[in-house]
Amino acid sequence: MNALTEIAAGGRVLLSGNEAVARAVWEAGAALATAYPGTPSTEILETLARYPDVDAQWSVNEKVSLEVAIGASLAGARAFCAMKHVGMNVAADALMSQALAGCHGGLVLAVADDVGLSSSQNEQDSRYWGRFAHLPMLEPADAQEAHAFTLAAFALSEEVGCPVILRLTTRVCHVKTVVAVGERLAPPPRGFIRDPRRWVMLPVNAKAMLPKQDARDATLRALAEDSPLTTELEGSDRSLGLVASGPAALSAREALPEAPILKLGQTWPVPVDRIRAFGETVDRLLVVEETEPLVEETLKAAGVAVLGKDVLPRHGELSVRVLRDSVARLRGAVVADAAPAGPDPDVFPRPPTMCPGCPHLSPFYCLSKLRRGVLIAGDIGCYTLGAGHPWQAMDTCTCMGASVTMAQGLAMAKGGEDARKAVVAVIGDSTFLHMGMQGLLNLVYNRANVTVMILDNRTVAMTGGQEHPGTGFDIHGQEAPRVDFVALVQAMGVKPERVHAVDPYELPALFRLIRQETQVPEVSVIITNQPCVLTDRHTPRPALTVVEDECTGCGSCINTGCPAIQVTRRETTTTKSGHSKELAFVRIDSAFCTGCNACVETCAPNAIVPLNPAAHPRLEKV
């Protein structure tokens, strides 16, 4: 029996918000769950994959993920889809049209916002998708509510006949709470109802749906006013009332325990009349919402007098201290800025870096050496760290797949005066399959002069090592068809002689290949083919060490960026020409070393040798 399902109804278990959502999806009787991995939402589908009776599937991107879930809903099944906030941008095409048609079986879309930008390129507020798409938006504050609201979302979806968005944040996704769980439901089969006037989104059909959408909006507004998910927390001080939702409501309760709070469980449609009635019981009303002023602006547009972002910060999480200090200033108190914690400790800086032996180290080492003659368009993944020290080998990075398309624009706009300068797009294997294929097709079609580097490490590494169509395995670890990247890019029109698969650990060969392809005036593709060192697909090689007496302090090995290489001492010397030169003598932490050989290729004095020479046949240079 599956251990996850052994807890009887009413049992209590410690779960994160992501795990609680997964449990509720299973309890709701969902037949299908889809997602594309992305922090902070990744663990929802990973957890669902361990439950029976739910077909959990990774998709190549969020649009595909949502469309698969929509298809299951139209067939009458309950379906679920999860993504992070920027993934909703990718899924928006399907979302906006299907929102008009609605759904058949319950369809719940969980979107996880990264308030505070812990691991994302922006802080967009997904609550606006509820308003934009005319869809209900539920917003839990902790794991227990994440569980309860997910169940409620499925029921609401089938009651009203439209998808329901469950808005999470990093705080809800990852913080654990004791959750009371239940048994799995068995929703009656609905089957597919053939109705082309509803499901075929021709303009004539869509126009007929607009009045129905208006009627649905009225129903949703009425349901929001009486939603049991919205509750009032009593307070003895009626001089200031708070309207809050999500984790911000919990911070507000802790920061201002005497203030009454109307805690919104459904943040779209905004229950304007209920908030208006609550506001009449207090002297002043403050809307506590993280990032954008969605509720505040809706209330002001309805003529409700409220305070909001004129009092509270617009960016980042609303912590207890932030709320307490902001309200104190509102009440006229002088609040001192937080006292400095004292001088920073004198420690060596530790910026984010790649792992020891990462197959991305060598490509960025090579690109850093070609830096003066190359523009480098980067993408989203572990390799985004190539923008940092010591490589500094990235000029742009916007969103998934944009490396290839932005590289095309860079190449097209350079003009004749800079025609010799090459443009390189760097993209990972999962990101290429997510949104990079269309960009490469566009490059070929428009004959752009770009070299595309696909760094294939056979996993979605940045979010924890998930599977994708290029790994050869599905979410359950079962074998699945694996994409042949060489054949794929050739099928897109890249000439066979311009497609190269290369071992990134063969650093001299990789360097020569990049230099060669950046000088060819047509689309070329370089595919690195070593797996991520944190997966079981990687076979570590025997570790290396430094012969200290042979090390000249040149520091060339440091420029690979491998964190297993450590500086033991620095010296300054004077060259024959009279210039000062800093030397950095190193050692290799053999416990971390994976024996990738990249540093050996940079070491002119041959000071890097096998820790156990007999076990390291690759090191022909030594």
The three-state secondary structure class of 201 is coil
Structure tokens at 138: 């539920």
Overall average pLDDT of the 503-531 stretch: 94
Of 96, 71, 68, 93, nearest to 82 (Cα)? 68
Q: Please report the domains of the chain, with CATH numbers, ordered by start residue.
A: 3-225 (3.40.50.970), 231-330 (3.40.50.920), 361-528 (3.40.50.970), 544-615 (no CATH)
Band (371; pLDDT cuts 50, 70, 90) = confident
pLDDT of 349 over the 70 cut: no
DSSP β-bridge partners for residue 500: 526
State yes or no: pLDDT of 415 exceeds 60. no
Tell whether the model's pLDDT for residue 201 goes beyond 60.
Answer: yes
599 among the known binding-site residues? yes
**pLDDT tens digits along 145-200:** 999 999 999 999 999 999 999 999 999 999 999 999 999 999 988 999 999 999 99
554 annotated binding-site participant: yes
pTM for this structure?
Answer: 0.89
Cα dihedral 82, 127, 382, 522 sign = positive
Q: Is 173 annotated as a binding residue?
A: no
Mean pLDDT of 382-399: 92
Average pLDDT over residues 298-312: 96
| pLDDT higher than 90, residue 422 | no
Least confident of 168-172, 558-562, 563-567, 609-613: 609-613
Q: What is the pLDDT of residues 19-76, one digit of tens each?
A: 999 999 999 999 999 999 999 999 999 999 999 999 999 999 999 999 999 999 999 9
Q: Per the annotation, does 81 bind a ligand?
A: no
Q: Is the pLDDT of residue 566 over 70?
A: yes
Is the pLDDT score of 603 beyond 80?
yes
The answer to the question of whether 596 is labelled as a binding residue is yes
Would the annotation count 593 as a binding residue?
yes
pLDDT tier, 381 (very low <50, low <70, confident <90, very high otherwise) = very high
- CA–CA separation, 146 vs 558, rounded Å? 46
- Answer yes or no: is 397 a known binding residue: no
Question: Angle, to 10 degrees, between the axis of helix 272-279 and the axis of helix 294-301?
Answer: 80
Which tens digit of pLDDT belongs to each residue from 313-341?
999 999 999 999 999 999 888 887 765 55
CA distance 588 to 600: 11
Contact (Cβ atoms closer than 8 angstroms) between residue 585 and residue 548 = yes
Q: Mind listing the pLDDT tens digit for each residue in 567-599? A: 998 988 887 777 888 889 999 998 899 999 889
80-84, 108-112, 172-176, 388-392: least confident range: 388-392
Mean pLDDT of the chain: 91
Q: Which pLDDT value is given to residue 335?
A: 82
